[in-house]
Structure 1
Amino acid sequence: MFTLIYEFKLKPTSAQIATFEEWLEQCRKVYNYALCERKDWVNSRKCPVNACSIKSEYIIPADQPAPNYNSQAVALTQAKKNIPALKQVHSQVLQQALKRLQLAFEGMWKNGRGFPRYRKAGRMRSYVFPSMGKEPIQGKYVKLPKIGLVKFIQSRPIPDDATIKQARIVRRASGWYVQLTRQWKVDVPEISPLGTSIGIDVGLIHFAAVSNGRTFPNPRPFKHLEGKLKSLQKKVSSKRFGSNNRVKAQAKVSRLHERIANTRKNYHWELAHNLCDWADMIFAEQLNLKGLARGMLAKSCLDAGWGQFLDILRACCFKRGVYFQKVPAAGTSQTCPKCLKETGKKKLSKRVHKCQHCGYTCDRDVAAARIIEIRGLEAVGHTVVKLSEGKGHVHRRR
C-alpha cells in the first residue's frame, strides 16, 4: 500500500465556518473530559493504603479497570443520548478525539513523552473524518460527511487512480485547510543503494554542507522576524483580556508564526530537491535532536529545524527514487576524510579542518560531510577507493 497526503485550502461559507468551530469545540471538550477520567483514576491509586489525603480523596472502586479507548467510546455513545451538542457532531469525528488521547498516552509510555495536558479554548486545531463516502471530490468541492459540499482551491492535480481514505480539517491563522489521504494498492520497491553519493552535515553557520564542497546558508527565519514578533506580542499583552482587540492582536501574532514556519518549510523543500538532483544516494547524520533543543544553542537549533529538514529530505528522496540513510554523527569533525585518522577535538570557533598527519585542508563542515559519506558507503556495503578533490569519493561495490 502506498499513501500520500494532499493539502488544499478551503473556501467555506460563514455557516460552514461556524460548524467547523463548533465541532472543534466539542472535540476539545470530549478530549478534556476523557483525560480528566484517566487522571482521576491515576490519582486514586496514589493514596497510601493506610492513610488518606488531608484535603480530599478520589473515591473510585479498587476493582474498576483503568479507562481506555474502548470503555470511553462506549461511554461517549451513552453521553450522546443526553447531550444535544454531541449529537450534532459526526460520531466518528468524536471517536477520533478519543483515539488522539490514546495515542498521546502511548507516546508517553513508549517514547518517554510528557503526560497529556488539557486543551484550552482554541488549542484544538484539527479533527478527522476517518472514512469518506463515495465520490468525495466533485469538481471544485469536497463532500464532507454530515456537512456537505465545501469549496476548495485545487492547487495541484488530484490523481483518479487512488482511494481517499480519510480527510482532516485543519484551522490555521490563514484559514481552513483539508488534508486528503489518498491510498494506492501497489507495492513500492525498495530503493537500491547504487550510483553517485553525497554526505550532508547540518550546522548553524552553514545550514548544510555537502561532501562535494557546496554549502548552503542558514535562513534563520525566526531570528529575522523576532523583533516584529516581539512588538506584536507586546501589543497583545497591553490589550484587555477577553476583548475583541486582544483577539485581533493575537491573530496577527499567529499569522506571523505561520509565516515563519512556511518560510522555513519552503527552504527545506527547495534544498531537499536540490540535493536529490546531485546524487543517487544521500547520507545524513543521526542527530540527538532532544539534546540539542536543551543546550545553550537551543534557540538557534530550533530555528534551523533540522528534524523537519531530515524528515522532508527522506520524503523527497522517496518520491525522487534516491536512496537515503542516516549514519552515526559522533566524531565526524574529529576525523580526517583523506587519511581517516583522528585529528582531536576542535572548538566551535575553529572553522577550518587541517590534518596534522597528511596536511589535508578544507572547510570544517565539508570535511564532516565527507566523513558522513564514507560511513554511509561503508554501511551499505561499498568500499571507498580514494578521495577525489572536488568530486567526492570514488567507490565500488563489495
Structure 2
Amino acid sequence: MIKGKNVRIAYQYKLRPTAKQAIEIDRWLSMLCAQYNFLLADRFDWYEFNRSPINACPLVCHIPELRDNPDYYSQKKTLPQLKKTHPWYGEIYSQVLQDMVKRVYVTFDRFLKGDTNGKRSGRPRFKSRDRYRTFTYPQMKDGCLQGNQITLPMFGIVKIILHRPIPDGFKIKTSSVTKKADGYYLTLSLEDITVPSIKPDFNADSITGIDLGLKDFLTTSEGDVVPIPQHYRKSQKRLRVIQKRISRRHIGSIRRKKAIKQVAKQHKKVADKRKDFHFKTANNLLKKYDVVVHEDLSVKGLSRSMLAKSVHDAGWGSFLSILSTKAENAGLLVIAVNPSGTSQDCSNCGVKVPKKLHERWHDCPNCKCSLDRDHNAAVNIKNRAVGHSVLKAKSLLSNSRIVLEA
C-alpha cells in the first residue's frame, strides 16, 4: 500500500419520504427545472447574438454592442435577485440553487469547448419536468446521518433504508436526491483521507483473455463460457403489453400517466438485472485471474449497426467500465488490445483463416487447429497482451527478485 489521493466512493440508498415530503421534493425539482431552462436560454441568447456566420465583413458596417458572456459567477449573482422577484425560491437551500447554476455551466462549456479530452458534447436541451430528476447538496454537515434518518438542510429529516452501513473513517461530502420510476433515492459521496491507494500487486502469470459476444456473453482463453442473459429481450413481451396501454389512453389523462410509469418501472427492472449480472461476472473473473485482457471495442459504432438491440442488451461498455474500476480498486490489471483480426487469425500458427459471421467454428488448414471461434479469438486476445509494458516491467521485477534470493 502506498499513500495516494483521497478515496471517494458513492453509496445509494432508497429514501422513504412522507407524502408531504414527496410533494416538496417534486416542487423543488419543478422550480429548479424552470430556472435551469431560463439560465440555459440566457446562455443561448448570448451565443446566438455574439457569434457571426461569416468570416469577413464589408469596409463599412455596423457592429452592435456585444453582451458579456453569462458565465458561472455572473449567473450565480442573479440568485439573490431571483429570491426577491420570486420569493418561493427562498425555500430552496442556497447551495442547491448554486449547484443547479453549475450544471448549466458544465453542460454549456462541454458544448462549446469539450471535456478534458477535447471531446465536445451535443447541443444542450431544455428539460421537461419529467427529465429533471436530481438536485444536489454540495456540502453536508458532520452527524447529518443518525441511524436510519438523514437531515437535509432546509428540507428536514427523511427516513432512508440503510441496507449497508457507512464504512468507518468515511465522511459524507455531498448528497443527491434523485427521483426514479420506483421512488426516491439518496446518493452519498463519501471520502476518507486516511485510506491509502492500492499499489498494483498482481501475478503476471495469472492472465486470461476474454472475447465478448452475442451468442455467449464472454468466452475466456481457457474455454470457459458465460451465457448471455438477454434481459431486455426476455422482457419484451411484458413491455409490449404495457406500451399498448399507453397508446390506447388519452394524452394527458391520469390512466396514461400510470401506464407510462409502469413502462419506466419495467425498464428500470431490466437495467438493474443487467447491472447486477455485470458486477457478478466481473467479480468472478477477478477472483480467478489477476490480469484480464479484452478487445478495445468501439461499442458506440457497434450500437449503430443492425445488431444494435443485441449490443445494447449485452451492455459491453458498462461491463468493461465496471471490470476496470473493480480491478483498479483491487490492485489488479485490465488491458485493452487491438481487436482487428482476432476472430480470423489462427491462435496456434497465426495464419489468417477467413470466416463469415455465421461460421462459429475455427478450422485451420495450416496447423489443423480446431476449436470454437470465440475460444480462438480469446486466445488471440490473450497473446496480444504479452508485449504490454506493464507485464514486461512486472516480469523483469520478478526475475530480479529471483536472482537476489538466489
Fold shared by both chains (TM-score > 0.5) = yes
Amino acid at match of 2:22: I
Matched, 1:188 2:188: no
CA distance in 2, matches of 1:293, 1:215: 23
For residues 102-147 of structure 1, the C-alpha deviation after alignment (integer angstroms, 9 at most, x for no partner) is 2223433322321110111211111111100121210111111111
Q: 2:152 aligns with which of 132, 144, 149?
A: 144
For residues 240-285 of structure 1, the C-alpha deviation after alignment (integer angstroms, 9 at most, x for no partner) is 1211111111111111011111111111111111111110111222
Superposition pairs for residues 333-344 of structure 1, below 5 Å? 333-339=343-349, 341-344=350-353
Identity of aligned residues (%): 35
Q: Equivalent residue for 1:39? A: 44
Deviation at 1:290, TM superposition (A): 1.5
Secondary structure at 1:135 match in 2: coil
Amino acid at match of 1:303: D
Secondary structure at 1:150 match in 2: strand
Change in 2 beyond 3 A, CA 1:247/1:164: same
Q: Equivalent residue for 1:99? A: 102
CA distance in 1, matches of 2:64, 2:140: 41
- Verify the 8 A CA contact 2:347 2:376 in the aligned structure 1: yes
Deviation at 1:166, TM superposition (A): 0.4
Matched, 1:271 2:281: yes
For residues 150-192 of structure 1, the C-alpha deviation after alignment (integer angstroms, 9 at most, x for no partner) is 1111111211311111011111111111111111113303314
Deviation at 1:92, TM superposition (A): 1.2
Q: Equivalent residue for 1:57? A: none
Superposition pairs for residues 1-398 of structure 1, below 5 Å? 1-45=6-50, 62-108=65-111, 109-110=113-114, 111-185=119-193, 186-195=195-204, 196-339=206-349, 341-382=350-391
CA distance in 2, matches of 1:233, 1:74: 45
Secondary structure at 1:335 match in 2: coil
Point out the more displaced range, 286-295 or 96-105. 96-105
CA distance in 1, matches of 2:256, 2:174: 36
- Verify the 8 A CA contact 2:142 2:171 in the aligned structure 1: no
Amino acid at match of 2:185: Y
Gap runs ≥5 in structure 2: 1-5, 56-62, 393-397, 401-406
Gap runs ≥5 in structure 1: 51-59, 384-395
TM-score by length of 2: 0.87
Secondary structure at 1:333 match in 2: coil
CA distance in 2, matches of 1:338, 1:49: 60
Point out the more displaced range, 295-304 or 350-359. 350-359
CA distance in 2, matches of 1:172, 1:381: 42
Deviation at 1:73, TM superposition (A): 1.2
CA distance in 2, matches of 1:357, 1:219: 36
- Verify the 8 A CA contact 2:142 2:172 in the aligned structure 1: no
CA distance in 2, matches of 1:65, 1:229: 50
Change in 2 beyond 3 A, CA 1:107/1:230: farther
CA distance in 2, matches of 1:345, 1:103: 47
CA distance in 2, matches of 1:364, 1:323: 25
For residues 19-41 of structure 1, the C-alpha deviation after alignment (integer angstroms, 9 at most, x for no partner) is 21111112211211111111222
Secondary structure at 1:225 match in 2: helix
- Verify the 8 A CA contact 1:143 1:150 in the aligned structure 2: yes
Secondary structure at 2:77 match in 1: helix
- Verify the 8 A CA contact 2:208 2:220 in the aligned structure 1: yes
Change in 2 beyond 3 A, CA 1:241/1:333: same
CA distance in 1, matches of 2:201, 2:73: 42
Point out the more displaced range, 352-361 or 194-203. 352-361
For residues 39-84 of structure 1, the C-alpha deviation after alignment (integer angstroms, 9 at most, x for no partner) is 222222456689xxxxxxxxx9632122222221112332122111
CA distance in 1, matches of 2:192, 2:53: 55
Change in 2 beyond 3 A, CA 1:364/1:397: farther
